[in-house]
A and B are shown apart, each in its own frame.
Chain A
């Protein structure tokens, strides 16, 4: 059975599901309902098959290999190699796609008659297909084709709601950044090709000895920029907070949950598998980048009141956390400490899986809220728990998971990352030790800030009184949307409770990477549900879960029997200086984060504007309204993107002079080039 599932045929079937879904949606584009049914059906069935296939591939004895050569283009072959690492990423993509597609079936109905559902279904299926091929390709050229398919499809999904000019602008920025990243990736592959004569990953790996160290270093830098741009690491993150919110919510969930992980996949594949052995500074660089990304990501998230932009910034933060694990893994690998390197890799993989689940859950929940409220501004929410209780519960689960609260999954992957960093502090030399100390401190700090941020989001969105009239009209999401969210919420809990088993499986995945073959299986194990790391650390999810239940029950019992017992409850008007309670008396999302922003004002550069409207414009004694607008300047846009943009614009103006419309001038250019080429040929 396993042989039948985990086979080249199984993978081709997987691809065909999405291809048929895409083409079918396009063919039925004139009927929105049919197009939605067709594209969602194939996306759901394909994702389900992808999940089964990937589990089969995870436990298959051998790597799934097949290649279709093209005599016309000898360098390009449709080469697929699905080892355990690829299978893991296929699992993550399929699992999240499954629930997003179920959610999407109900969600896209509000686009009926507004935009083409057929086009949405086409690009959605192509997008998932592209991601699956990206993590399976073993030929650089074939990989680039898949990478481009994924990027172009996601661009069209970002600009799907094209009536909003901000979405078009976000899409353009995304496209530009994507192509800058792709240019770096192409350059990296060309450099590898120059020294190995092949675009095949296996051949490049076997010929790694022929590549000079400085070329490997250049490839590393190009790969970090190229794949880091897709992953959204700072400072290449500019597109992410704009593009992710612009897309339909189930697409945002996929982009933030899994698409950015394809960059992480390629970093793991290149740095740990193909380019090995590696120097120590690679790992330390990734640790520094990861620390900066996680800290600044969460700080920028705190300043946001656009719920989807806030979640997008948290993606930057979590990519930073994943890079902490990966950076530690690279550092230990370069020093030959393979057991700890495996621990770092497992921490990175586990957080990849966890972030995919809880971030998708959060995007889907926020999508349900936006669907009802017709705005992404949290300041206009409030009290939604009464109108959307199930959505509120799912959002709460996602918030707890992303804030690393046990027993949800986020806690355990961050715990593993901490263990990795602590081991680095204990075993490394002076300067590496301090980088690990800094990374651990940043991780702890980030956890605290993330918790504060989600207290803000949850309370501003679901608690207190409604801050706009729209809230009263809000209704719970349809069943398919609730099912998608509910399944991800349950998954977040299960991944936490079974973290011991999951980590053991991820250790098994990690040991499939050639440099970790010699690490003993018992280094990461599960004993009676406990996650055990070597002989130095362990944590028990079931115990934590039981403890949480006990605390909840005891708290409920204490309140029930000791506080309310024999007490009469009187309901009266709250004394509030003689006026009625109104939503204006609540603390706003901006107000909540103001104190934290003040602490980090040297980094965030906040701006504040006061506006006062008086009853009498002449006397100005009695203010009618007071408005405080708190803003945060985007430092990267101000000091990085805009100067680069200005330089490119100035350069373009000079270049434009060449395009003067005079034929003689064009002939002159050719003439000069001809002479230069002749001189160069003779020299």
Chain B
């Protein structure tokens, strides 16, 4: 079970963040986000087996409902409804993007992040993995031109933060649990409003078409 919870699921989470950079279709990104969220829900489930906390169980149910089922479904529906063309274009091409990702992961494993890794010696590698997830997600937001990809990047960043909190031993904290509940709801609202408004105003989700924002 340890291999499943401490290796396979974190690896799934991290690979999905990399996959977002490789994905060519919005549909794939939406599914990827669902898988990433499922991985986090399962990691939290592992914690639940240890603690038997009902609040945690409630959080897991919420998380699965919103992030694993509703959010991907919403994105897929949105893509179908507006016939959003997939914007695979990024500012950096794929090889360069992979180089930047490699550099970011190297930075995370450098001495810069040692103080954070040493917070939980037992899970130091997992903590670093979560931090790498944060930076790679942030890079997705920067590198992608499509607004939908950017939104998923932000949501992936948020998942990475939750993962970091779990591996740092903060999943027992009531504050974190309330925070997770709260951010699920808020992100859902923001994402919905954000995407709808952008499409309504600009008729596209390609942010390169939105340069008149400057004026």
Contact = CB atoms under 8 A, between A and B. Distances in A.
B142 interface: yes
Nearest to B91: A664
A661 B213 contact: yes
Contacts of A661: 210-214
Given A667-B138, A667-B141, A671-B138, A678 B112 contact: yes
Interface in A619-669: 659-664, 667-668
A675 B113 CA distance: 11
A679 interface: yes
Contacts of A608: none
Contacts of B135: 671
Nearest to A661: B214
B200 interface: no
B95 interface: no
Interface stretch (B1-9, B21-29, B143-151, B177-185): B143-151
Given A659-B214, A678-B112, A679-B112, A664 B142 contact: yes
B150 A663 contact: yes
A664 B144 contact: yes
A682 B112 contact: yes
Contacts of A667: 138, 141-142
A664 B214 contact: no
B201 to A, nearest CB: 14
A682 B141 contact: no
Contacts of B138: 667, 671, 674
A682 B115 contact: yes
Contact of B111 (A659, A660, A682): A682
B35 interface: no
B18 interface: no
Which of the four size classes fits the interface of chain B?
A: 20 to 34
A671 B115 contact: no
Interface string B84-108: 0000000100000000000000010
Nearest to B143: A664
Q: Is the interface of A mostly helix, strand, loop or mixed?
A: helix
Contact of B142 (A660, A668, A678): A668
A664 B139 contact: no
Contacts of B57: none
A398 to B, nearest CB: 54
B191 interface: no
A65 B213 CA distance: 55
Nearest to B150: A663
B207 interface: yes
Nearest to B138: A671
Interface in A529-579: none
B207 A664 contact: yes
Which of the four size classes fits the interface of chain A?
A: 10 to 19
B207 A662 contact: yes
Contacts of A682: 111-112, 114-115
Contacts of A660: 214
A4 to B, nearest CB: 60
B77 to A, nearest CB: 24
Interface string B173-215: 0000000000000000000000000000000000110111110
B171 to A, nearest CB: 24
A662 B141 contact: no
Contacts of A675: 107
A675 B150 CA distance: 20
A660 B207 CA distance: 13
Contacts of B91: 664
A350 B213 CA distance: 60
Contacts of B208: 662
A442 to B, nearest CB: 54
A663 B135 CA distance: 17
A662 B211 contact: yes
Given A668-B142, A671-B138, A679-B112, A663 B207 contact: yes
Nearest to B208: A662
Contact of B141 (A659, A664, A674): A664
Nearest to B141: A667
Contacts of A662: 207-208, 211
A139 B89 CA distance: 58
A664 B145 contact: yes
A216 to B, nearest CB: 40
Contacts of A659: 214
Find the residue from B142, B150, B212, B214 having the highest chain A CB count within 10 A: B142
A300 to B, nearest CB: 43
Contacts of B213: 661
Nearest to A679: B112
Contacts of B114: 682
Nearest to A670: B138
Contacts of B210: 661
Contacts of B115: 682
Contacts of B143: 664
A517 to B, nearest CB: 57
Interface in B112-128: 112-115
Contacts of A678: 112-113
Nearest to B111: A682
A671 B139 contact: yes
A453 B168 CA distance: 80
A669 to B, nearest CB: 10
Nearest to B112: A682
A671 B214 contact: no
Interface in A454-471: none
A249 to B, nearest CB: 43
B194 to A, nearest CB: 11
A663 B140 CA distance: 12
A659 B213 CA distance: 11
Nearest to A668: B142
A671 B112 contact: no
A314 B144 CA distance: 63
Contact of A671 (B111, B142, B211): B142
Nearest to B207: A663
A660 to B, nearest CB: 7
Contacts of A674: 138
B155 to A, nearest CB: 14
Contacts of B212: 661
A668 B141 CA distance: 9
Contacts of B142: 664, 667-668, 671
A666 to B, nearest CB: 9
Nearest to A663: B207
A447 B103 CA distance: 73
Contacts of B214: 659-661
A663 B212 CA distance: 12
19 contacts: A660-B214, A661-B210, A661-B212, A661-B213, A661-B214, A663-B150, A663-B207, A664-B141, A664-B142, A664-B144, A664-B207, A667-B138, A667-B141, A667-B142, A671-B139, A671-B142, A674-B138, A679-B112, A682-B111
Given A671-B138, A682-B114, 16 more contacts: A661-B210, A661-B211, A661-B214, A662-B207, A662-B208, A663-B207, A664-B141, A664-B145, A667-B141, A667-B142, A671-B135, A671-B139, A671-B142, A679-B112, A682-B112, A682-B115
- The 9 A-B pairs of least Cβ separation, nearest first, read A661-B214, A667-B142, A668-B142, A682-B112, A664-B142, A667-B141, A661-B213, A661-B211, A671-B138
